[in-house]
Structure 1
Amino acid sequence: MSENKSCCCSAAPKLVFACSGGADVGALADRAARKLTADGAAKMFCLAGIGGRVSGIMKTTEAAAKVVAIDGCSLNCARNTLEQAGFTDFMHVQLADLGFAKGESPVTEDRVLSVAMAVAPHFANPCE
């Protein structure tokens, strides 16, 4: 994966991996990734497949134009899963940096939109 202009002008996928943990912020990260997918900004991909080293998921991720990990809490499970699988060239968004606190951030449509809007610029296409 490369951060140069040609990478983002290709047909290579833009992938988002989200924490989908049991806490409210995990659910918020998950819903924001699903919104980004529904909006066409990126494609939500399977973080468990990375952890399980599923060959097809690993190959697709290796070929991605951009990868963003969204973590709900400071445990950073999405980031750590990608790193332990050997991925280093990705953006990381931590919901605490956006003002969300574990146990204090019930999922609402406004919060999902807020997170999705904060993450979407990471997928901006310089060719447009």
Structure 2
Amino acid sequence: MSEKKSCGCAAAPKLVFACSGGADVGALADQVARKLAADGVAKMFCLAGIGGRVSGILKTAEAASRIMAIDGCPLNCARKTLEEAGFTNFAHVQLADLGFKKGESPATEERVLAAAMAVAPHFANLS
């Protein structure tokens, strides 16, 4: 039996950040990010840690191979939080642009699946 040798280095993570705001579309964005993480598309990471400038979270984000921000509504809190922390090279999807309307889009299983299927290709196309 041959043993695979490890270089001790880990692949840079792919991270997804979601605004988990107070509206239904914020809950939907949060659940979409969790689904993408559960499906192995990316690791969901803490947007509050970016806003709070938590050093370990910032370092992990800086080392990421890809970053995706998911916002539910046009306020774009996830995108703005990343930008305020100095991040510029990330993909952004606003669920409102996909037809999910604030106050009319509770995070049902069907909506989470539909939104995740719409968001995943955006993540895959990042360079």
Q: Return the TM-score normalized by structure 1.
A: 0.87
Shift of 1:124: 2.6
Identity of paired residues, percent?
Answer: 81
Preserved CA contact (<8 Å) 2:17 2:46: yes
In 1, the alpha carbon distance for the partners of 2:100 and 2:122 equals 19
Structural mapping, 1:1-128, within 5 Å? 11-124=11-124
Name stretches of at least 5 consecutive residues in structure 1 with no aligned partner: 1-9
Q: RCO (CA 8 Å, sep 6+): is it higher in 1 or 2?
A: 1
Runs of at least 4 residues of structure 1 off by over 6 A? Answer: none
Shift of 1:119: 1.6
Q: Return the TM-score normalized by structure 2.
A: 0.88
Which residue identity lines up with residue 87 of structure 1 in the other structure?
F
Preserved CA contact (<8 Å) 1:14 1:123: no
Which residue identity lines up with residue 48 of structure 2 in the other structure?
A
Deviations 1:100-124 (A, max 9, x none): 1100111111110111111212333
Preserved CA contact (<8 Å) 2:91 2:123: no
Deviations 1:51-108 (A, max 9, x none): 0000010011001010000001111000000000000000000011100110011111
Name stretches of at least 5 consecutive residues in structure 2 with no aligned partner: 1-9
Q: How many residues in Structure 1 have an aligned counterpart in Structure 2?
A: 117
Select the structure of larger CA radius of gyration.
2
Which residue identity lines up with residue 110 of structure 1 in the other structure?
E
Measured on the aligned residues, the alpha-carbon RMSD in Å equals: 1.5
